[in-house]
Amino acid sequence: MDNSVKIRTIEGDIPVSEMGFTDSHDHIWKEGGMEVLKDPDFAIDCPEKSRRELLSFKEAGGQTIVDMQPLGVGRGIEPMRAIAKGTGVHVIAVTGFHKGSFYDKTHFVHRYEEDQITELVTAEVMEGIEVNDYCGPIVRRSPSKAGAVKCASGYYKITPLEEKLIRIASYSSVKSQAPVITHTQMGTMGLEQAQRIKSYGVEPEKICIGHLDRNPDPFLHEQVLREGVYVQYDCVARIKYHTVSETLQLIIRMDQKGYGDRLLIGGDWGRSSYLRAYGGAPGLDFIPGSFASQMIAYGVPEGLVHKIFYENPARFFGFIKET
């Protein structure tokens, strides 16, 4: 691990060696926005309950968590700062955008030029996250900066708006050096996302294709990994979609194909019904507290488990180089 490289957390930049056990995709706060309007179960909006979840993550051995809620869909940098303060958990916040259907025609993503939005996104990495997600004329930046850039597409298609937002995320990554993480719908369009983002100048090792395990097809995963990018398994133990064994077999198979250093895991427990403090299950502590040991019990080599939760996130999220 190169200790001169740092990750960008909401409490400042820290050396990659301090990152520790990392959940690469999760949620501690969502308040309002189209996702919550469509389904109120997506609301994660009680600071006290979110703090309890974060503390349970810490008690189970978790040290860093990436809150993947981007601009304009209920992200809240101020509540996030308050929730994380004093817990000892490093939180990485993101900028960029979710899938196009989450932005009403009145949102600025439809109205501003690509260059203008690229500047706004880049400023959230370089200067500070805008406390109101740029939803009004007054710009007030949090001391917290974004540590990654998100973009997304829908089921089997990339709309013209999503094309624009993917280019914006890519150019912001090139300018700021922050990594890009995507949302795929049911794992579709992952290969197309990887190829597009690369074509806009982002190095493959700075790209991570998300939710790919929603389509646990090893053929697809190999095609995507062949692009040199990371893939993220973040629907683990979501039994309504697929079994735990399927995910674990995928992990072992991708490692055997030589891609063990390109895998990241997150819980993506992005609904209140997934969080115990909100009355749901299994909770933010599941990944460090149960899933990591399930991997070992199943036969995933310990060295690979360590790579997935420590070394790979440190390499992927570390982008601040000391000068």
Stretch that binds Zn ion, among 73-81, 215-223, 265-273, 288-296 (CB under 5 A): 265-273
Q: 255 vs 268, which CB is nearer to Zn ion? A: 268
Q: Which residues pair with 92 in a beta bridge?
A: 66
Number of residues located near Zn ion, criterion CB under 5 A: 3
CB of 69 to Zn ion, least distance (A): 7
Site for Zn ion contains 268 (CB under 5 A) = yes
Q: Is 236 in the site for Zn ion (CB under 5 A)?
A: no
Beta carbon of residue 246, minimum distance to Zn ion (angstroms, whole number): 20
CB closer to Zn ion, 265 vs 304: 265
In the bound state with Zn ion, the residue whose beta carbon lies nearer, of 66 and 194, is 66
Do residues 214 and 235 make contact, with C-beta atoms less than 8 angstroms apart? yes
Residues 48-87 that bind Zn ion (CB under 5 A): 68
| 68 or 236: CB nearest Zn ion | 68
Rounded least distance, CB 234 to Zn ion, Å:
7
> Where would I find the H helices in the chain?
34-38, 47-59, 77-84, 108-111, 114-126, 160-176, 190-199, 218-225, 244-256, 286, 292-298, 302-306, 312-317
CB of 42 to Zn ion, least distance (A): 9
Interface with Zn ion includes 270 (CB under 5 A)?
A: yes
What are phi and psi for residue 107, nearest 5 degrees? -70, 150
125 exposure class (CB count in 10 Å sphere: 0-12, 13-18, 19+): buried
CB-nearer residue toward Zn ion: 155 or 257:
155
User: How many whole angstroms separate alpha carbon 244 and alpha carbon 232?
Assistant: 15
What is the nearest approach in angstroms of Zn ion to the Cβ of residue 269?
9
Considering only the stretches 51-59, 93-101, 267-275, 308-316, report the one whose residues sit in contact with Zn ion under the rule CB under 5 A: 267-275
Question: Using CB under 5 A, which of the segments 32-40, 266-274, 296-304, 313-321 binds Zn ion?
Answer: 266-274
Classified as helix, coil or strand, 265 is strand
- DSSP codes of every residue in 177-236: ---EEEE-BTTBTHHHHHHHHHHTT--GGGEEE-SGGGS--HHHHHHHHTTT-EEEE--T
Q: Which residues contact 127 (CB under 8 A, 6 or more apart)?
A: 141, 145
CB of 149 to Zn ion, least distance (A): 15
Cβ 10 to Zn ion shortest distance, Å: 17
- Contact flag: residue 227 with Zn ion (CB under 5 A): no
Give the CA distances from residue 122 to residues 127, 145, 176, in Å, rounded to whole numbers and listed in that order.
8, 10, 6
Specify whether the CB–CB gap between 149 and 94 falls below 8 A: yes
In a 10 Å sphere around its CB, with 0-12 CB exposed, 13-18 middle and 19+ buried, how is residue 161 labelled?
middle
Smallest separation, CB 27 to Zn ion (Å)? 6
Residue 184 CB: number of other CB atoms within 10 A? 25
Residue (216 or 267) nearer to Zn ion, CB = 267
Is the Cβ of residue 236 or residue 300 nearer to Zn ion in the bound state? 236
Q: Which window, 9-17, 88-96, 194-202, 262-270, contacts Zn ion (CB under 5 A)? A: 262-270
- Under the binding rule (CB under 5 A), the answer on residue 255 touching Zn ion is no
Q: Nearest approach, Cβ of 2 to Zn ion (angstroms)? A: 29
Kindly list the residues in this chain that would bind Zn ion in the complex (CB under 5 A). Answer: 68, 268, 270
